[in-house]
Chains A and B, each alone.
Chain A
């Protein structure tokens, strides 16, 4: 390294040194408030960390598995020469998992947002990327926003292997009707949907917008307003799994509830 390099390195280091070093107090407050609603991921213990009884059980299970697999593979030969066996033509399709089979099946768990106060159930094997601030009234709930709760099985931010759910319930004041708020948010991002259905969510009139492709992904986007609180409940997935997506989304939607202290007087709906 020559003296010029060292001077340049010092210049960068000195400049970085001048930046702030103290985190705002809200950082710890937000983290502390979020912890009760964030379940810890459980790690599978390594074999040598298990007790002797469990190790013995696992070994026995492995032996049984080997026997069953062996019997299955050798099954066609068990009848001897002349016995009939089933032959799968090489050109026939191999049965694979359907979209529905890829869906979560082990039940739902209730999540209550520390930031917004709403509750919703989500599949137990999914993870939650928790919102750390509130969205503003007409702020778009992008997948990268810190204002959304992001529920998904994968970690790619775009649904992973089985869709993703974004939820945010910002305070939208009293100026917006459901239709006007929907127009300013969902319509402004994804334009006119393929279908726009009037439904009911948590006892309130809501809109369910279906987009076969918005920013390259299938979207089911629900907007609902209770008093001065709006809710975006958005399902995203790769195209082609719409039927299964809709089924699981409706199951989840049924569990959504606004915070108990939200104002309950309905806001009249009007055509945008």
Chain B
């Protein structure tokens, strides 16, 4: 992100901020979608983060850190969206994907399906560190700085999140195996 553009937006230049938003929207949406797993909530979170960025931009201390700061706003907007999601979570269930296809495709779909179901069981805080580490490629230090949490917290969140994913996927694999044996 051009620092000059950020500085202009900090002084209230709407055109400059619109340019920033245009070049950041896809990145923000991709991050929000991966955390929330829902296109509408990801859209809401992205919009809230960008509008919040405009509102709070004059308080940004270092324009060169704009991208990390915006990521933090997106993640926090996701937390807010996820809190609302919990209200309705009991009424929503994930439908299994169609597995009536060739064995390879069915297996790939099943893997995706299992990962999706397992990931949805993580807390928003755990989802955020997994996405930032495995999708954005952030180091633990970068995650900690971006989210404003201690590095030890970032490390333990990532460790616990991946551990929980493993447990959930292992139990899912075992269930699939048993189911496959019964069908055979």
Contact A132 B30 (CB under 8 A): no
A130 to B87, CA, bound (A): 21
Contact B26 A43 (CB under 8 A): no
B107 at the interface (CB under 8 A from A): no
A120 at the interface (CB under 8 A from B): no
A16-B34, A40-B57, A146-B48 known; A11-B115 Cβ under 8 A: yes
A29 to B43, CA, bound (A): 12
Contact with A along B44-63 (1 / 0, CB 8 A): 10111011101111110000
A-B contacts at CB below 8 angstroms, number: 114
B8 at the interface (CB under 8 A from A): no
Contact with B along A9-34 (1 / 0, CB 8 A): 10111011111111110111011101
Interface size class of B (residues with CB under 8 A): 35 or more
Contact A146 B44 (CB under 8 A): yes
A19-B30, A133-B44 known; A157-B80 Cβ under 8 A: yes
A31 to B15, CA, bound (A): 12
Which DSSP category, helix, strand, loop or mixed, fits chain B's interface?
Answer: helix
Q: Which residues of B contact A112 (CB under 8 A)?
A: none
Which of the segments B96-104, B127-135, B174-182 contacts the partner chain?
B127-135
Residue ranges of A at the interface with B (Cβ–Cβ < 8 Å): 8-9, 11-13, 15-24, 26-28, 30-32, 34-36, 38-43, 127-130, 132-133, 142, 144-146, 157
Residue ranges of B at the interface with A (Cβ–Cβ < 8 Å): 12, 14, 17-18, 21-22, 25-26, 28-30, 33-34, 39, 43-44, 46-48, 50-52, 54-59, 80-81, 83-84, 87, 111-112, 115, 130-131, 134-135, 162, 165-166
